[in-house]
Amino acid sequence: MKNFYKKQAGFSLFIAVTVAGVLTIVAFTVTKIVTKSVEYANIGKSSQIAFFAADAGVECALYYDSLEPSKFATSSSGSPISCAGVSMATSNAISGTSTTMRIGGGGDSNPTSYFGFTLNQGANPLTACVIVSVNKSYVGQILRTRVSSFGYNTCDTTSSRRIERGLEVTY
């Protein structure tokens, strides 16, 4: 009877180590899946912020272009304008770029206006920003306006997690 127990010695330890190893691998795999899921959710949130920043830029441009006279008319100085609580004027720097704002004016030889602003107002401030261009040009005798708006989840141009979303409206 003593020989029977000697042949079985250490078997329980082997089973315990094997089960612990399998559980460790399962726990590691589940942790990796959860980590990736959180990362994808954050990317989705940042993408949404960038898209809504671009939308805010389009809405601001459409509002000021609908005024009589348009703030972006090539024959008038449309400066200043205000969007999301940020006042903007020609020759101010656009946040996150080396470009300066130009609102209206420019004549037919330079028909594009540029402006940008940050969306950092309210109780839950964001670091999102938007850069908008409004181009007014004639096709034959028809005035065409193209509004291009690029939203960013962060104004930090060096961020590896910066996401850009754009909208364009032509009428």
What is the model's pLDDT at position 50? Answer: 95
Alpha-carbon gap, residue 36 to 13, rounded angstroms: 35
The better pLDDT of the pair 77, 96 is held by 77
Residue with token string 């315990």: 16
What pTM does this model have? 0.78
Q: Which long-range contacts (CB under 8 A, 24 or more apart) does 143-150 make?
A: 144/170, 144/171, 145/65, 145/72, 145/170, 145/171, 146/170, 147/58, 147/61, 147/62, 147/65, 149/54, 149/55, 149/57, 149/58, 149/61, 150/54, 150/57
Give residue-wise pLDDT tens across range 109-158: 889 999 999 887 666 667 899 999 999 988 889 999 999 999 999 988 88
What are the residue ranges spanned by the domains of the chain?
Answer: 32-170
Give residue-wise pLDDT tens across range 80-120: 899 988 888 888 888 767 788 989 877 778 899 999 998 87
Q: What are the φ/ψ torsions at residue 19 (nearest 5 degrees)? A: -65, -40
Give the strands of the sheet with 164-170, arranged side by side.
112-119, 128-139, 142-152, 164-170
Closest CA to 152 of 129, 121, 118: 129
Give residue-wise pLDDT tens across range 1-26: 555 556 666 778 889 999 999 999 99
